[in-house]
Chain A
Amino acid sequence: GNSVTQMEGPVTLSEEAFLTINCTYTATGYPSLFWYVQYPGEGLQLLLKATKADDKGSNKGFEATYRKETTSFHLEKGSVQVSDSAVYFCASNAGGTSYGKLTFGQGTILTVHP
């Protein structure tokens, strides 16, 4: 079946540090991959996505590259800010019998200190 595994948190960083949040997936076929973010007190919103192998999604300084060979979609940011403190969810959306259904990872809590 389809599944998404994220690195366990919480992750605590100082401002301007480098961020990596690992995400790997298992899926039949070739899924689309997403990162969603949930800021404190807010709903989930799309951060970035990639729909085919070697695609790079980017937004707000965050990047993630769809790596088919390692079935990964790791989230990176070169210099985090306090305002990036949030919960980050990796997700896949595969075809086949699970057509259109989003499968989420467990989420990673990020806290950035000044």
Chain B
Amino acid sequence: GAGVSQSPSNKVTEKGKDVELRCDPISGHTALYWYRQRLGQGLEFLIYFQGNSAPDKSGLPSDRFSAERTGESVSTLTIQRTQQEDSAVYLCASSPGQGWHTEAFFGQGTRLTVV
């Protein structure tokens, strides 16, 4: 694919329901990031995958949040028992991961609205 693909682009869910967000990184990119962007605010780091290393989960805000990645391909971010404060745009990015000089490429994001 040409770029990082995220689905769905928009998701409206009822409070208390679980949601799953998907990210397809650029082929061959070993690094993958999830960020959260609340309305009018900056980027909040959630989780970082790099190859086969243990993911950096230090940004996950609570145990309701989890993410998985199969090898160097698709990643899913799951939010259980959603709350209204989870409403935000969830951004995924991938990077070739070869050293820290390389840039990250972002998807268009999933806009999550919890009602």
Partner of A102, one of B33, B42, B108: B33
Query: With a CB–CB cut-off of 8 A, which chain A residues contact B25?
Result: none
Do residues A51 and B50 form an inter-chain contact, with CB atoms below 8 A? no
Given contacts A44-B91, A104-B45, contact A32 B101 (CB under 8 A): yes
Cα A22 to Cα B48 in complex, Å, equals 27
Partner of B42, one of A31, A45, A49, A104: A104
Partner of B43, one of A34, A49, A95, A104: A104
Number of A-B contacts defined by CB within 8 Å: 58
Do residues A100 and B100 form an inter-chain contact, with CB atoms below 8 A? yes
- Asked if B93 lies at the interface with its beta carbon under 8 angstroms from chain A, I say yes
Give the size category of A's interface with B. Answer: 20 to 34
Do residues A49 and B103 form an inter-chain contact, with CB atoms below 8 A? yes
Query: With a CB–CB cut-off of 8 A, which chain A residues contact B105?
Result: 46
Do residues A46 and B103 form an inter-chain contact, with CB atoms below 8 A? yes
- Asked if A89 lies at the interface with its beta carbon under 8 angstroms from chain B, I say yes
| B40-71 Cβ-contact flags toward A at 8 Å (1 or 0) | 01110100101000001000000000000000
Do residues A89 and B42 form an inter-chain contact, with CB atoms below 8 A? yes
Partner of A106, one of B41, B45, B97, B100: B41
Cα A94 to Cα B45 in complex, Å, equals 15
- Asked if A43 lies at the interface with its beta carbon under 8 angstroms from chain B, I say yes
CB nearest neighbor in B for A108: B42
Do residues A95 and B100 form an inter-chain contact, with CB atoms below 8 A? yes
What is the CB-to-nearest-CB distance from B89 to chain A, in angstroms, rounded to a whole number?
10
Query: With a CB–CB cut-off of 8 A, which chain A residues contact B42?
Result: 89, 104-107
Do residues B103 and A94 form an inter-chain contact, with CB atoms below 8 A? no
Cα A43 to Cα B45 in complex, Å, equals 16
Do residues B95 and A100 form an inter-chain contact, with CB atoms below 8 A? yes
Given contacts A31-B100, A93-B100, A100-B95, contact A45 B106 (CB under 8 A): yes
- Asked if B77 lies at the interface with its beta carbon under 8 angstroms from chain A, I say no
A-B contact list, 9 entries, CB within 8 Å: A44-B43, A44-B106, A46-B105, A49-B101, A100-B48, A100-B95, A102-B45, A105-B42, A107-B42
User: Measuring CB to CB, which residues of chain B are less than 8 angstroms from any residue of chain A?
Assistant: 31, 33, 35, 41-43, 45, 48, 50, 56, 91, 93, 95, 97, 99-101, 103-109
